[in-house]
Amino acid sequence: MASSILRTEKLCKSFSNGGTQQHVIKNLDIDIIEGDFTVIMGSSGSGKSTLLYALSGMDKPTLGKIFFGDTQIQDYTNDQLAQFRRGNCGFVFQSVYLLDDQTVLDNVLTGALIVQKNTPELVSKAKELLKKVGLNEEDFKKYSNQLSGGEAQRVGIVRAVINDPKILFADEPTGALNSASSRDVLDIFTEIHKNGQSIVMVTHDLKTALRGTRVLYLRDGGVVGDYRMKPYGEDDKQERRAGLTAFLEEMGW
Ligand SMILES: Nc1ncnc2c1ncn2[C@@H]1O[C@H](COP(=O)(O)OP(=O)(O)OP(=O)(O)O)[C@@H](O)[C@H]1O
């Protein structure tokens, strides 16, 4: 049976903007299921990134509870949250932020060494993952200014999964890429998900959302729509697109 990996109870996140309180997330109860590829959508400013940051321990909620498995993380200190993130979460953002003075391989290893020992097995794993995303031995020695945007994002994904995170969080991972690179990156997400990785991804892009198995639609600080799809590739592409489009139209997207 599908089990919950991340759950919120009455989650609230507010910001003080120019003296007024802006309530972005309001009493939100959601349940993220292990093994799902959950996509968070909603109009601009609906709080998608805010929710992702709260769920992943990058930011603290204003009120409410966040359960990661049986562990509640909402009252963690910044140090505890940092430790929690290192042990449980991987992150892919629109901008990759590779270290300029390190090679591709060292960028991946630097992320890994935060929680793992530098062993020949770790180096082999990093190389194997880099090869899986289409990079070769020559690419491993390159610096970030020698990579295309798509290549850099693929390195970013390897860096995010090298520590086997329980959840991979992504915020508009194809936002800065052209359509060919976007497709390559989305194919990698599909492959990672097929291998059992739980993913939570924010996007405003239909093609990206089509890769998910569940789409949560945010409005007025809450989830107003919850749409399910089969894993990508297991159904007719046109029907899948038509189904998701109809759902999003109903949501007023
Ligand atoms: N650190 C912050 N301080 C103050 N206000 C913030 C902060 N972060 C987000 N907000 C506000 O919260 C609201 C939701 O922002 P958020 O970035 O979560 O929306 P979004 O749905 O991801 O938007 P977009 O699709 O445009 O990226 C916005 O009005 C934003 O100005």
Residue 156 Cβ inside 6 Å of ligand 1? The answer reads no
pTM: 0.95
Q: What is the mean pLDDT of residues 179-205?
A: 95
Q: What is the CATH number of the domain that holds 82?
A: 3.40.50.300
Residue 48 Cβ inside 6 Å of ligand 1? The answer reads yes
Per-residue b/e over 64-88, b at no fewer than 16 CB within 10 Å? Answer: bebbbeeeebbebeeeebeebbeeb
Closest CA to 37 of 239, 227, 241: 227
218 Cβ partners below 8 Å, 6+ apart?
40, 41, 42, 46, 47, 48, 51, 224
Taking the centre of ligand 1 as the mean of its atom positions, its distance from the CA of residue 205, in whole angstroms, is 17
20-35 pLDDT, tens digit per residue, is 999 999 999 999 999 9
Residue 142: both structure tokens together? 């390159």
Residue 197 Cβ inside 6 Å of ligand 1? The answer reads no
The Cα 146–Cα 164 span in angstroms is: 27
Residue 220: both structure tokens together? 């007025």
Taking the centre of ligand 1 as the mean of its atom positions, its distance from the CA of residue 98, in whole angstroms, is 24
Residue 15 Cβ inside 6 Å of ligand 1? The answer reads yes
What ipTM describes this predicted complex?
0.97
Residue 75: both structure tokens together? 């009252």
Taking the centre of ligand 1 as the mean of its atom positions, its distance from the CA of residue 147, in whole angstroms, is 30
* Residue-level length of the chain: 253
61-101 pLDDT, tens digit per residue, is 999 999 998 899 999 999 999 999 999 999 999 888 899 99
Number of structural domains (the chain) is 1
Domain region containing 74 = 4-251
